Amino acid sequence: MKMTDVGVFTGKVLDRLEESPDLAWAVDEEQRIRFMNRSCEEALAVRADEAMGKECFRVFKSLTSRGKAQCRPNCAAITGAKAGACPAMTLMRLRRPRVPEQWLMCSFFVLDASESSFLMLHVAGQVTEMVEAWSVLENYASRASGGKYLSP
């Protein structure tokens, strides 16, 4: 979905991400969704025009690898961006009704930053098969070591 009130560089970045197979979405400093590409629409089963302006944590009900809410008011990414830095990436578990959960590796980028506002771009790729394989290996290692294996 096109954004009209962004700088030239940001506009070009978002144009390139529109057709990307990776999920891409952007939120403002108040965590309102300002951009969502087609891959994101398909993964969430939510149209971009329905998500625009909504708080991201109400649309993305994702969890951390430990089962805690990833997308929430004042999440680590938005808090870091407000302080002038944000995490480079994180693993997130996306859950939706009637659809198998998906694991995503999400990277964050701050765009169009000024003293009072910014746009935080999220770009996420599917890593479900990798996470499931890692889980199988961890279970095997734990059994083979008599429960002494601890995951890193």
- Kindly report, residue by residue over 26-51, the tens digit of the pLDDT: 999 999 999 999 999 988 888 999 99
pLDDT-derived band of residue 3, with 50, 70 and 90 as boundaries?
A: low
pLDDT tens for 59-91 read 988 888 778 888 899 988 888 888 888 777 888
pLDDT at 15: 86
Supply the DSSP string of the chain, one letter for each residue: ---SSS-HHHHHHHHHHTT-SSEEEEEETT-BEEEE-HHHHHHHT--HHHHTTSBHHHH--EE-TTSSBSS-TT-HHHHHHHTT---SEEEEEEEETTEEEEEEEEEEEEES--SS--EEEEEEEE-HHHHHHHHHHHHHHHHHTTT-----
Reported pTM:
0.79
At 16 the pLDDT is 87
- Give the pLDDT confidence of 77-132 residue by residue, as tens digits: 888 888 888 777 888 888 777 777 888 889 988 887 776 788 889 999 888 888 77
Does the pLDDT at position 152 exceed 70?
no
Q: Is pLDDT at 142 greater than 80 in this prediction?
A: no
